[in-house]
Structure 1
Amino acid sequence: MRVTVNGADLNREPAPGQCLRTYLRDAGHFEVKKGCDAGDCGACSVLVDAEAVHSCVFPAFRADGRAVTTVAGLGTPDDLHPVQRRFVEAAGFQCGFCTAGMVTTASTFDEADLADLPQQLKGNLCRCTGYRTIVDAIEGRVNTEKADGVATGSSVGAPAGVRVVTGTEQYTMDFAPPGLLHMAVLSSPVAHARIASIDTRRAESIPGVRLVLTHADSPSLRFSTARHHSRTDDPDDTTMLDNVVRFVGQRVAAVVAESVAVAELACSAIDVEYLELPAVFDPEEATRPGAPALHGDKTVDARIADASRNLLAEVHGGVGDVADGVAAAEESGGAAVRESYRTQRVQHVHLETHGCTGWRDDDGRLVIRTSSQVPFLIRDELCYLFGLGPDDVRVFTKRVGGGFGAKQEMLTEDLVALAVLRLGEPVRYEFSRSDQFTAAPCRHPFRVDVTAAADRNGTLTALAIDVLVDAGAYGNHSPGVMFHGCAESMSVYRVANKRVDAMAVYTNNLPSGAFRGYGLGQVMFGVESALDELAARLGIDPFDLRRRNVIVPGDDFVDSHVVDDDLEFGSYGLDQCLDLAQSALRRGNGRTPPAGWAVGEGMAIAMIATIPPRGHVADASITVDASGTYLLSVGTAEFGNGTTTVHSQLVTSELNTVVGNVVIRQSDTDVTGYDTGAFGSAGTVVAGMAVQAACRELRARILTAAAALSGIPAERCVLGPNGVQCDDAFVGFADLPTGLIGHGRHEGTPRSVAFNVQAFRVAVDTATGEVRILQSVQAADAGVVLNPQQCRGQVEGGVAQAIGSSLYEEMRVDESGAVTNTALREYHVPQLADVPVTEVYFADTYDRLGPLGAKSMSESPYNPVAPALANAIARACGARLRRLPMTPARIWRTLTLMPDVGARAPSDTGSA
């Protein structure tokens, strides 16, 4: 077969049935990405004879004699295609994994296509941006600034921007070492069973199979796939390969072979006899006497609260007396709400799936190149499992294609390490998109029962939650998600009588894990919905109800107890956020509802600690060379969180240089001492503080050296982009001593709090339950906004993702515990047509605990969205949805149960 790719002939025969995507990547065209391999996401889009196609479902043989153009063929870093240039100028990406396909598709658009972008881009998904900047890019709007001077506070574009839009920026799988072997995993078809026997002889006899691993080959040490600074935060309830399976999709065996196809064939040839055990899928039933104990074999050392009752973790406590508070409210002519709310399983749908490649380097060290938010924590756990020292293992990332908390897990690296240590050859294991639904942890389902009471004036007198968390088959992040979800959701309110009761329990469902918001989104759905119901009963504006009851500086943080750790008010902007969001709703945006639809407004608030508790550490170092180029070494990973851009801006601000003079080495255990990881929005705050400290130490050393050379006191020396001016004497960088270096370390304490207020105006078709968002507003207290465009993008992306899990997304599980919608086409990730442009407003605050006054703002925008939407829907048509997602069918069913639904007119609808 002969095909022309980017103007060059490619002569090679495709394998039988091979798609164009893998055909191109086998030839080294790594700019063609894998997002789904089902034609659903568009990450693999290329041009065939100038027509955009999804190469994952385009048979390779159909390209014979045709011209194929990838994003790398549209333009080069030195000669960008106009569409590529516009994506850079508009900051039209975050993680950038979708960008190659997005740019390629957009390069075909004419004027008619531009008039209907939602239709033209329906085959291209973005999980990060919220689409606004993508539309800006296609329509030619410029959102970034050219940073010729100090860049802090400017919308500087991402340093990797040109590489991302040309497909030259490397992601995890964008290379193929010589002799690469491939791994496939056999998964359990049953939810709970003991493996009675496993016969691998047929698999081992298949040509090309190099290794078959079963539970007999697994290290005996138990661990958790969840990763935290302290490994004891999570239960040790997992082994690499176990002789007991506890959910449909659990690893049973792994095969390493010369190709993925051979490895998958060999998996199907493994004979396994399962002795099925009783299973439990309902978390309520899992806690009852007689329920099968999933981890009854574990000892107290596993850090499980009560394995005999499937109780993983629990918290019970409070202040005052909730019953007294409810009674006082009702006696005063106030009101009380007692309701139950439920949230569903949600998949992260980062477009780059989990995966890694491992090998031995020239020194014999184990090297893992992985898609991870936590390379240092992965290294440390591999050392623990295999009895290796930190110097024996290197773990690093390239650019990571999205994470949202999912890549704070160890899901592939352990198996690959085991195989590499056995074989001594490079091994790769990459999840398929269906693996993401069946083998990777999802967002925790919560049941949240809320009791809220207030007197006739709207002063809260009682607030209590009873929370049940479905951990699934393994504990993973469940203790932390449970504690964190209950914490700031409750402590944001000043109430004399509070109570928290919460349990995380094991079931035979798919394991749950870290997800954007880390439990806050689930609990806030309950708390903020209940407070809106309370405001409606009292006839009080919901903004005013919050103003009367939120904490202010000087108040204690109180959830299940008076919080006495390191949480402080580094700044406070919640009052501004409430004002900004309410003012925006009052102004409106001119979008009119369809005739006859009911209209309503709703809002909700959120608070989040800016740093995870119990330790989050980052090291950084920086040097300067004779040309004035600064080399920053930092451990945090870049996965669309924008930390690389912010870190470069911190360097320019502290060292009075320009962005072009900053080079960053990152997310590699070889380049810096330690970094807990890029989660909990810590990349800006914790790693940023370490970067700032390193820069200040280097600056002092540069000025001291320049003073010594010039004979002028250091306090009269000024550092600039080209050197140091000491009165009339100039000291160039080439004149300075070599080896000047600055080190910085931040321990992640004390911690501040950030705030978000979300508001919506929606229209509801009461005949069908369809919801249209007429106006979306979020006001955020992010401290000093170091990069306005980038921070706005984080808010927009968080809102868009939350709209998906509020209205559309749900992982469906059948009676056997199997996930039934395992393809993107069966799981409604928001498209451009589904996502409104969110108006983003920032409070004017300066946080004394953050770098240059900044606070984190990556995960918190997600948290108040679901309750704000629920509140808007309820005030529009009277349908109070207490279960997510709020689909048209659920809204319609709720309306049909209302006695006055037939008589209710749009003019009767309530408003915030």
Structure 2
Amino acid sequence: QGPFAARAKLAYLMGIPARQIHVFTERVGGGFGGKQEMVSEDLPLFASMKLGGRPVKWEWSREDEFIGATTRHQMTTKIKVGAKKDGTLTAIDWQVISNTGAYGNHGGETLAAAMASPMAAYRCDNKRGVGRAVYTNMVPGGGFRGYGASQTTFAMECAMDELARTLGLDPFEIRRKNVVRPGDNVESIWSEAGDASFGSHGIDECLDIVERELKRGNGTKKPDGAEWTEGKGVALAMLECGPPTEHRSGAEMHLNPDGTYHLACGSSEMGNGITTAHKQIAASILGVRALDIDIINADTDRTPYDTGTFASTGTVVAGKAVHITAEAMRDDVLDFAARHSGVDRDKCRLDNDAVICGNKRITLKELHAEGAKVHHRFTVGRRAYLSPRTIAFNVQGVRLAVHRITGEIRILHSVHAADIGKPINPMQCRGQLDGAVAMGYGWALVENMVHDEGHMVNPQLRNCRVPVFADTPHTDIFFAKTVDAIGPLGAKSQGECGINPVAPAVSNAIANATGVRFAHLPFTPDRLFADLGKSK
């Protein structure tokens, strides 16, 4: 996910200049933060050096992946909230302990993220939080989809539902009343000036969509029998689109002799469809088909620097770099065409594979040939920095059934609404959200790494289950009709935040069905069984 970062670390380990190392990323096939840091890249390199430069490939087994890679940080959150009788929040206080495992890795950064957006999502005059990252004799924590915010979103959204129940308020209404809005201070426990800003605001529409769809229903009824009880739950999540750190990306473009374009960008393709989105962004600005733009990405010798494709930055940073680079490419072509034709610049425009200047049409192929005669290169480059950061929202709704005796849970209806601005590629966005929600259900219902004195005792997929297609409920996905003023072509980030509200929505639905609050994930039958006797 970060070839330039890997190159810098390898150069440090080897004691040679970074320019002597070439790192490139093929299509990774899933990243989710796990390939954000260098875990194993150094060992094949050292093996290759020992073998006289012979190619070396290191393939991990499933068990290697469980015990040699990183995992999501296990967190324990204790939260207290205060409110007026009408539901207006007056105080939020939480304590977070994060298990970073044997090494620090992302311990500080994920803890900071845990203390940020889940609390900043709500207006409240009094906020206090204390977070601690602790070392343990376990597999180290690392970057993972949601990056710390998933864990505390679970606590915050469960607390909001408990508050609504205590005050006799509707779970949707208490969120509408308190969610942060344009003009509010977007802050958690830190009051320093920040750059998180509303380029658009679609949380109300997302809440309306999920409430409407759950009321409408999908025709799926709970199983027959008095032992089954049914409940609904909702949760929201807020995403500051990118980390509050120096994140940048560069892009370069040039016009090819055949009239097509070449685009180089340092971000990684890992099944997220970012190369397609980047081609679409450039094509929309240059007035051509995505097919007319070839792209190279994630190559330290052939692309500009990119901090890394993580923290939902592939669109809002690298995509922004592509956006402004394509604009520069358009201007370069039109400026030269105006000079070449002797027509005023404002009378020149791109027309697919040509430029029209006045009443004359010049193909891009012809224009490139004319430029070559005077050594005009038709090459541009631009950089984008992650500031300001726009704000996105996600809302998850769940209707489920719980078996009072066995603890079995069946998802009857799953609804997700996302405020992602204008989708660059709606199909890919749906795929991202489908995957995020499926991952959220896995986290909520089945995935459980079991440790004994620091040793993982179930490092196989047979014993540490993850959801497959047959396990994953269908989710109805909707987009709020917003166009962002900050992101490229009106788009926002969406790679991560879809996972964050899923587990708390499931928890809230279970509490609604049974009257019992289960605080520990995953909600496997053995964990529910002991307390189901208390259910209503």
2:32 maps to 1:394: no
The answer for the alignment partner of 2:42 in structure 1 is 414
In structure 1, stretches of 5+ residues that fail to align are 1-372, 905-912
Query: Where do residues 715-754 of structure 1 align in structure 2 (5 Å cutoff)?
Result: 715-736=346-367, 737-738=371-372, 739-754=377-392
1:249-284 Cα shifts (integer Å, max 9, x gaps): xxxxxxxxxxxxxxxxxxxxxxxxxxxxxxxxxxxx
Indicate if the aligned counterparts of 2:234 and 2:508 stay in contact, CA closer than 8 A: yes
Query: Where do residues 131-280 of structure 1 align in structure 2 (5 Å cutoff)?
Result: none
Residue 729 of structure 1, CA deviation? 0.7
Q: Which amino acid aligns with 1:702?
A: V
Q: TM-score w.r.t. structure 1 length?
A: 0.57
Q: What secondary structure, in the 3-state scheme, does the structure 1 residue paired with 2:430 have?
A: helix
Residue 879 of structure 1, CA deviation? 2.6
Q: Which amino acid aligns with 2:331?
A: A
2:140 maps to 1:533: no
Residue 796 of structure 1, CA deviation? 0.9
Indicate if the aligned counterparts of 1:628 and 1:721 stay in contact, CA closer than 8 A: no
Specify the structure having the higher radius of gyration (Cα).
1
Indicate if the aligned counterparts of 1:489 and 1:523 stay in contact, CA closer than 8 A: yes
Q: Which amino acid aligns with 2:411?
A: I
Indicate if the aligned counterparts of 1:764 and 1:876 stay in contact, CA closer than 8 A: yes
Q: 2:485 aligns with which of 837, 848, 865?
A: 848
1:234-259 Cα shifts (integer Å, max 9, x gaps): xxxxxxxxxxxxxxxxxxxxxxxxxx
Indicate if the aligned counterparts of 1:571 and 1:783 stay in contact, CA closer than 8 A: yes
Q: What secondary structure, in the 3-state scheme, does the structure 1 residue paired with 2:22 have?
A: strand
Q: 1:497 aligns with which of 126, 139, 142?
A: 126
Structure 2 Cα separation of the partners of residues 666 and 814 of structure 1: 43
Indicate if the aligned counterparts of 1:629 and 1:662 stay in contact, CA closer than 8 A: yes
Structure 1 Cα separation of the partners of residues 190 and 107 of structure 2: 20
1:337-385 Cα shifts (integer Å, max 9, x gaps): xxxxxxxxxxxxxxxxxxxxxxxxxxxxxxxxxxxx0101000111122
Q: What secondary structure, in the 3-state scheme, does the structure 1 residue paired with 2:98 have?
A: strand
Q: Which amino acid aligns with 2:397?
A: A
1:165-205 Cα shifts (integer Å, max 9, x gaps): xxxxxxxxxxxxxxxxxxxxxxxxxxxxxxxxxxxxxxxxx
Q: 2:510 aligns with which of 862, 867, 873?
A: 873
Q: Which amino acid aligns with 2:350?
A: L
Q: How many residue pairs are counted as aligned between the two chains?
A: 526
Q: 2:421 aligns with which of 766, 783, 799?
A: 783
The answer for the alignment partner of 2:241 in structure 1 is 610
Structure 2 Cα separation of the partners of residues 866 and 556 of structure 1: 27
Structure 2 Cα separation of the partners of residues 880 and 831 of structure 1: 27
Q: Which amino acid aligns with 1:704?
A: D
Q: 1:814 aligns with which of 449, 452, 459?
A: 452
Indicate if the aligned counterparts of 1:557 and 1:563 stay in contact, CA closer than 8 A: no
Q: Which amino acid aligns with 2:36?
A: Q
Indicate if the aligned counterparts of 1:610 and 1:753 stay in contact, CA closer than 8 A: yes
Structure 2 Cα separation of the partners of residues 625 and 455 of structure 1: 65
Structure 1 Cα separation of the partners of residues 235 and 268 of structure 2: 31
Structure 2 Cα separation of the partners of residues 870 and 677 of structure 1: 34
Residue 734 of structure 1, CA deviation? 2.0
Indicate if the aligned counterparts of 2:88 and 2:177 stay in contact, CA closer than 8 A: yes
Q: 1:714 aligns with which of 345, 366, 379?
A: 345
Q: Which amino acid aligns with 1:743?
A: G
Q: TM-score w.r.t. structure 2 length?
A: 0.96
2:525 maps to 1:894: no
Indicate if the aligned counterparts of 1:878 and 1:895 stay in contact, CA closer than 8 A: no
Greater relative CO, 1 or 2 (CA 8 Å, sep 6+): 2
Residue 563 of structure 1, CA deviation? 4.2
Indicate if the aligned counterparts of 2:448 and 2:522 stay in contact, CA closer than 8 A: yes
Residue 389 of structure 1, CA deviation? 1.3
Give the superposed CA RMSD.
Answer: 1.2
Residue 853 of structure 1, CA deviation? 0.8
Structure 1 Cα separation of the partners of residues 353 and 136 of structure 2: 62
Q: Which amino acid aligns with 1:533?
A: E
1:18-63 Cα shifts (integer Å, max 9, x gaps): xxxxxxxxxxxxxxxxxxxxxxxxxxxxxxxxxxxxxxxxxxxxxx
Q: 2:264 aligns with which of 633, 655, 658?
A: 633
Query: Where do residues 546-561 of structure 1 align in structure 2 (5 Å cutoff)?
Result: 546-561=175-190
Q: 2:101 aligns with which of 469, 472, 489?
A: 472
2:402 maps to 1:771: no
1:61-119 Cα shifts (integer Å, max 9, x gaps): xxxxxxxxxxxxxxxxxxxxxxxxxxxxxxxxxxxxxxxxxxxxxxxxxxxxxxxxxxx
Indicate if the aligned counterparts of 1:696 and 1:742 stay in contact, CA closer than 8 A: no
Identity level (%): 46
Indicate if the aligned counterparts of 1:556 and 1:563 stay in contact, CA closer than 8 A: no
2:62 maps to 1:424: no
2:314 maps to 1:676: no
The answer for the alignment partner of 1:858 in structure 2 is 495
Q: Which amino acid aligns with 2:346?
A: E
Structure 2 Cα separation of the partners of residues 852 and 389 of structure 1: 38
Structure 1 Cα separation of the partners of residues 209 and 249 of structure 2: 34
The answer for the alignment partner of 1:482 in structure 2 is 111
1:749-777 Cα shifts (integer Å, max 9, x gaps): 11111100111011111121111111111
Indicate if the aligned counterparts of 1:622 and 1:743 stay in contact, CA closer than 8 A: yes
Q: What secondary structure, in the 3-state scheme, does the structure 2 residue paired with 1:611 have?
A: coil
The answer for the alignment partner of 1:157 in structure 2 is none
The answer for the alignment partner of 2:7 in structure 1 is 379
In structure 2, stretches of 5+ residues that fail to align are none
